[in-house]
Structure 1
Amino acid sequence: MSDLGRVLRLDARRTALLVSVPLLTVVGTAAAALSLCPSVAYWDNTVVALVNAVRLLGPVAAALAAWTAVRERPLDYLRDLTARSPATGVLFDLLLLAAAALVSYGAVTAVVVAVTLAQDEAGHPQPMGVAAGAGSLVLHVVAGYLAGRLVPHRATAGFVLGLTAVWAAARVPGVSWWSLLPPAAFDRIALFTALRPEVLADQVTWAAGLTTALILGYVMWATRRFLLVLPLVVALAATVTATLGLHRTGGGTVAPVAAEPVCREWPLTVCVHPALRDALPRLVSAATPVAARLNGTPGAFTALEQRPMWVPVAVNGGVATVHLDEELSGGFAARAVRQISDSLKDATTCAAPPNEYRALVDAWLLDDEPPAVPDTDAARRFASWSETARRAWLRQHFAAYRACALGPADFRTERPRRPVLAKHVRHAASHRPNRSAR
C-alpha cells in the first residue's frame, strides 16, 4: 500500500503541468488575433481564427507533451510496483495533458468570443468549428506524448516541435484539400458566405479517429491485448472516411448564404450586410449627392444595396448595387459611389481610351477635383454652370455620357436653361398686342 500511495502522490503532483495553461493561452490568443478582423465581427471568421490558432498552438502543446513524457519516463518503475495496467499511467497523463490544453483553448475561445460580442456581430456561431479546433489540439497532445514515450530522449521534444510546425506550415489556405487536414488552414470568410458544416464535421471525425487510433495502438502494444484490434480498425476507418470526405470537397470550404440587411431609409434607402452597419452614415452621405445629380436620367436610383462580390455592380430599376471593402478602410464610401458611375458606362463603346469629357462629368458627380483636360474652354464653361444647370445638361446628354461619346460640341451650347427661357420670352412677345396699330 505504501508503494501504491507513492504512485498516487506522484500522479497527483502531475497537476503541476497546469502551469502550461497560461503559456498555451498566451500563444493561442496571439495566434487567434492574427486571423481576426478588428472592424468586422463575423462569427464564421471567429471560428476561422480559432481553427487557425491551432496551427501555432498545436506544435507548442505537442512539444510540452513530449517533454513531459520524456521527463517522467524514468519513473515508470514505480508504477510497475502496483497491480495497475501498464497503460493506466499513460492514459492518466494523456487525460491531464489534454485537459490542460483544452482549458487553454477554452480561454482563447472565451477571449475571441468576447471580442466578437463587443462589436455588432453578424452571422451565426459554429460550434462544430470550435470542436474541430479542440480535436486537432488534442491530437497534437496525444501524438507528442506518445512520441516522447516511445523515444525517451531529450531531443524528442525539439524534434516533435519542429515536425508538427512543418506539418502546420505546409497548410496553404484554399490551395488544396490537403490543407483541410487538421490543423486546417482557412482563408477569411467573405461576407455573404459561410463555412460548410460538412467540412468541419469531417475535420472533427478525422482528428477524433486518428487520436483514438493512436491511443488504442499504444495500449495494445503495451498490454498485448489484441482484442483492441477491432476498435482500432473502426477508428482508422473513420479517419479514412473523413479524409475521403475532405478530398471530395476539392478545397471548397464555403457556401453562399443569405443575410438580412440593415438599412437606413432617408434620404436614400441604403442597405448593407449587418456586419457593416457602421458603414451606413458615410455611405448615405457619399451616395446622396450622386443620386440627386442622376435624378431624371436613366441612371437615377433611390436605393443603394451592398451585394456579394460575385454579383455585378449595376443600376437597375432605381436600385444601385455596389461592393464594399470589409475592412471599411479609408475612402470606402467614395470607392463605392465610383462603382456606380463606372457601371453607367456602355462596355462596348467605352472600351477605347478614356474620354476626357466624361471624366470631367464624373469628377462633378463624385465631388472630385476636376481633371486637367486639353479642352480648357469646355472645362471652364462646365465649371461656370450652376448645380441646377449641370443637372439639366446631364439629362439632355446622358446618352452620350453613357456611351463615352461626349465631345466639345456638347459643352459649347449655352447654359441649358437659357435657351428654354428665351424661347418662352419670344413666344410671349409674338402674342403681345400691337398697341401702335390701334
Structure 2
Amino acid sequence: MLATHRIAAGVALAAACSAALAGCGTGDGAHTRGTGSREGAYGAKEAVPAPAPKRAVRLIGDGSTAYTGPQPARPGQPRPERLGPGRKPPQFVVFSWDGAGEDSQKLFSHFREVAKANNATMTYFLSGVYMLPGEKRELYRPPRHEPGRSDIGFNDVRGVSDTVAQLRGAWLEGNEVGTHFNGHFCGPDGGVGEWSVADWKSEIAQAKAFVKSWKTNTGLADQEPLPFDYERELVGGRTPCLEGQENFMQAARELGFRYDTSGVTDQVWPRKKNGLWDLSMQLVPVPGRAFETLTMDYNFYANQSGARAGAPARHAYWGRQFRDGLLKGFERAFHGNRAPLIIGNHFESWNGGAYMRAVEDTIKTVCTKAEVRCVSFRELADWLDAQDPETLDRLRTLKVGQAPREGWTAFLTGGPAPAPKGVPGAPAAGQ
C-alpha cells in the first residue's frame, strides 16, 4: 500500500513512500560456518586460520539486542578528521533505504554485497513494524489511529528472521541502522504531518521497542541477537512522505538524535537546524525534462509513470533517466561545490526493477572514484562535527555546482594559492 507526497519543483512531484513488504524471504536467518582442516590439492591438509576472537556480548532485555562494543569500521575507511587548510573536501555520497526489510526479492542482501564490492557504507532506515509479526499487531499503538493499524502492514515470523539477519550483517559491515518509524501514515486524518512532539516521541519509543523485543514477539528465542544497543545506535531518521519534520526534529533533539533527512533542498553544504544536522533530500536534473526532482527512486517513478506500472518498453529508458539524473547531480557537485550528495531509495522493483539497476550502476560508477567517500549519514555527521565551523560557513557560500573561482587552496585559506615550487612568480596550478 503506497502513500504519496505533495512537493512541487517545476511540476507537482510525488515523494518518498514505503511499500509493504512483498512477502517473506527464503533465507535461513543467521548462518554459521564450521572451522577445522579442509582437504587441499592431492589430499594434503590445508591449515585453516584460527577464527578471530569473538566480541564480548552483553545481552539487553530479552536478548533481541546486545552490546558488543564499538561498531566495526569498514576496512580502509578513514577516520573523520578536520579538513586541513586549503584542502579540497572529499565528495561525500550517501545511499539510504527507506523501510529497509528483507523480503522475497532479497534486495537488502543484494545491496549489502554491492556496497561491500564498491567500498561503500549505507544507511538502512528500518520500519519498526517490519520487526513485528501480524499476529501481534495490537501491540502497536499508533498516534491518532486505532491500535494495530499500519498503512504498510506488518511482517511474519520468517520475514522478521530474514530482516534481523540482514540488519546484523549490515551493522557488522559498518552500515548504519536508522529509523523510518512504524505505520507510515501520510496526508490528512492523522498523518504524521499533524503529529505533535508527544506523538513523535511515542512513535520513536515504539520503533525502538519492536527492535528490542523481536525475540519475544516472534518466539525466535534461540537466534543470535542484533549486535548493537539500539538506544545508542539510533541517531537519525527520515519521516514518512517527508511530512511532519518540524515537530519530529524537536522530539528527535530531545531524544538525542544527531540528524534528520526529511526535508527538501538544493545541492549545497548542510547546516544544523534546531540542533540537528539537516541532511535533507536534494533536487537533481531530470535528463530531457525542464525541471528537477528529488534524488529518490519514487520521485522519478512518479514523474515517469505516475507511480503506477508503466509500459515495459519504457522501463530501460526510465532507468537510464534516473541513473543519469543522479550522475548529473554527482558531477556538478564533484566538479563544483563538493556538497554531499544525498540519495534515497526503497527495496522495490517498480517498473521492472529499472530503479534498482540504476542505483546499482550509480554506486559502481561513483563509489570507486578517487576523492569520493560513499558513507552513511552517521559517518557524514561525524565528519561535519569534526570540521572548523568557519570552514563549513565558507563552504556554504558556494551555490549549486559552483566551484571556488580562485581555486580551493585560496578559497579555504583566505589567501592566494602558492606558486609551484621552483618557478618564481608562476601562476598557481589549477585546483
Which TM-score band applies after superposition, normalised by the shorter structure?
Answer: under 0.3
TM-score, normalised to structure 2, is: 0.24
TM-score, normalised to structure 1, is: 0.24
Higher RCO, 1 or 2 (CA under 8 Å, sep at least 6)?
A: 2
Higher normalized strand content (fraction of residues): 2
Higher normalized helix content (fraction of residues): 1
Larger of the two Rg values belongs to structure: 1
